[in-house]
A and B are shown apart, each in its own frame.
Chain A
Amino acid sequence: MSVVRSPIRDRGSYLWFLVPGGLLLLAVILVPFGMNVGISFTEWSGAGAPEWIGLDNYVRLMSDATFWASFRHNVGLVVAMAVLPTLAGLVIAAALFDFVGKHFGSRHAAVLRACIYLPQVLPIAVAGIVWSWILAPQGGALNEVLRAVGLDSLAQNWLGDPDLALWTVMGVMLWVQVGYPVVIFMAGMQRVDPSLHEAAELDGASWWGRFWHVTVPQIRPEIFVVLLTCTIAALKVFAPIYVLTRGGPGGSTNVPSYYSFQNFFEKTQVGYGAAIATVLTVLILVLATVFLRVQNRGER
C-alpha cells in the first residue's frame, strides 16, 4: 500500500464520501454495541432506570450451569457447521473436480455442485421448518421411512429427546452447511497449476497422495476462509434453534445466542442477557484475530 507521490493531491476532500457511511455505522453498530457493554454492568428489566452493579452479571455467569452448557452445545455446532463440512467439502469438491469434472464434463460437475449447494440459499428459518416437519415423532417422514423398511426400533423422537436433540440439530446443520465449502474449494481447485498434479503423477503419486500433498496445501487460503466464516456462523447460530427446538427439551440445545435472547425478551433480565452477548462477542473477535494471525504467518 505505497502512497508515495500519489497523483491525487487533495486527499482530505475524499473524507466527505465517508461521512454518510461513518455516521450510519456509528448510529447502528458502534453506539449500540457500546450501550450493550454498558447495560451488561447493570441490572435492568428494560423499563425504568438501570441499576449499576459492576461485574456482578459476569460473576454470576461463571457459576451459571446453563451458560456453560450453552457453550458446550456451541462446540458441537462448530463441529457440525465448520469441522465436518470442511472435511466433507474437501473430499466432495475433489471428487467433483478431479473425477466428475475431468471425465464426465464440467457441466455434470456443476449440476451436482448446485444440488449440494441448494440448502445454502434457503432461509435458515425455512430449513428449520422443513426439518422439524420431517423429524416429527408422529407421522414425520423420517420415522415413517424407518417403519416402512422394518426398522421400527430406530424411529425416535428426534427433537424431543434430550439425549438426542443436539445430535439431530447437528445433522440438520451439516446438511445446511456442506454446500458452502464445496463451492469455495472447487473454485480454489481451478486456481491450482495442473503441472503440479502432472509432476506428482509422474512421480507415481496415488490420487490420495496428490490430494493431500498438492490439492490441500494449494487451497489452504480457501480452507482458512471457510473454517473462519463457518466457525463464526456456528457461534452465532440462532434461527435453527428457535425454529427446531427453542433451546429445549430441557435446555439440551440451548446456545449462547438463544440464551441471551431468552434473557432479553422472555425473562427481562436485560443486563444479564447483555453480559452473555458481550462474552460471545469477545469470543468471536478473539477467534477471528487468532485465525487471521495464523493465516498471515502461514502465507509468509
Chain B
Amino acid sequence: MRRHAVLWSMILLAAAMLVPFVIVALNAVKTPVEYSTGGPLDLPDGVSLDGIIAFWERVDFGEKLWNSVVISGSVAVLAVVVSVFNAYALGIGRVRGRLWILVVFLIANTLPQEALVYPLYFLANEVGLYDTKLAVIIIFTVIQAAFGTYLLTSTLGGFPRELLEAARIDGANKWQTLVRIVVPISRPTLGVLFVFFFIWTWNEFFLPLVLLISNENQTVPVALGVLQGQRMMDATMTSASALLGVIPAIVFFLIFQRALTRGITAGAVK
C-alpha cells in the first residue's frame, strides 16, 4: 500500500513539474480571440499556428536560432580543444605548480560574471569586437574551458602510463601522443564536455545581453528576455515565444539525455 502511495505522490509531483510546459503549449496554439473569450485554461478548438508564426516573423526567430547554434557550437568545440591542451599539460605532463594553476582555473570558473562584465564590455569596444558573435565566442570558450580543464585534469591524471610510455618508445612526440593516443581514448569524456558546453552556452543570458546589442546578433534567450522586458506582446504571442524557447531545450534534452546523466555524475564525485 505504502509503495503505491509513494509511487502516486511521485507521479503527481512529476506531473506538477510539467504543468507549466503544458499550459504554455496549450496557449501557444490558440488564436487571440479564443484566448480572450476562454482564458488561459480552456482547451484550444484546434491548432492555430498564427501566434507562433507572428512571433517567428516579428523577431526573425530563425536568425536567433542560427546565432545561438553558431555561438554554442563554436564555444563547445573550442572549449573542448583548450581544455584538452590545458589538461594534457596539467594531468599528464604534470608541469610544476600544477596545483596552483588548477586553483586559478577553478577560481576563474567561480567568479561572478558581474565582476568581469564592465571590463569585458570596455575591452570589446577597444578592440572593435563589441556587438559581435566572436566576442561572445571567445569569452565563453575561456569560461567553459576553465571548468573543462578542472574536470579533464583529474580524468587524465589517471591515464594509463604504459600507453604513454609505449607511444614514446615507438617514437611519437608529445603532439602525436596527444592526438593519436590521449584524445581517442578520452573520447567519451570529451563528448560529455561538448554537450555540457553547448547547453550551458545556449542558456547563457547575462554577458550576451550586455555584449550583443543589435537584433541580428542576439541569441534565443537574449531576444526573448529583451522582448519580455518591453511588455509589448499579447498573451498568445508571449506563450508562443515561450514555447519556441522551450522546444530547443527539450530537443537537446532528448538527444543528449544519456550523455547528460552520465556527465552530471562525472562532475559530482571525484
Contacts and interface: CB of A to CB of B under 8 A. Distances in A.
B250 interface: yes
Given A32-B123, A95-B10, A133-B242, A225 B268 contact: yes
Given A25-B108, A141-B23, A246-B229, A112 B101 contact: no
A211 to B, nearest CB: 12
Contact of A30 (B21, B108, B121, B206): B108
B119 A35 contact: yes
A264 B14 CA distance: 41
Nearest to A185: B268
B235 A139 contact: yes
Contacts of B246: 122, 126, 130
B104 interface: yes
B119 A36 contact: yes
Residue among B89, B118, B120, B138 with max Cβ neighbours from chain A (10 Å): B118
B85 A133 contact: no
B114 interface: yes
B265 A280 contact: no
B17 A119 contact: yes
A92 B118 contact: no
Interface stretch (A75-83, A156-164, A271-279): A271-279
Contact-residue size bin, chain A (C-beta under 8 Å from the other chain): 35 or more
Interface in A9-26: 11-18, 20-22, 24-25
Contacts of A118: 17-18, 21, 250, 253
B238 A129 contact: yes
Interface string B98-116: 0101001101101111111
Given A32-B119, A100-B7, A121-B250, A281 B112 contact: yes
A242 B39 CA distance: 27
A6 B96 CA distance: 13
Contacts of B225: 125, 128-129, 239, 242-243
Residue among A118, A123, A179, A273 with max Cβ neighbours from chain B (10 Å): A123
A134 B85 contact: no
Contacts of B118: 35-36, 39, 46, 264, 270, 273-274, 277
A13 B95 CA distance: 9
A261 interface: yes
A187 interface: yes
Residue among A17, A116, A118 with max Cβ neighbours from chain B (10 Å): A17
B95 A15 contact: yes
Contacts of B209: 242
B82 interface: yes
Given A123-B203, A225-B268, A133 B145 contact: no
B210 interface: yes
Nearest to A260: B114
A242 B224 CA distance: 12
Nearest to B228: A129
13 contacts: A7-B165, A8-B94, A17-B89, A17-B178, A21-B85, A141-B23, A144-B40, A148-B41, A187-B269, A232-B110, A261-B114, A277-B112, A285-B110
A243 B41 contact: no
A103 B2 CA distance: 11
B221 to A, nearest CB: 4
Contact of B20 (A30, A114, A134): A134
B31 to A, nearest CB: 15
Interface string B19-37: 0110110010000000100
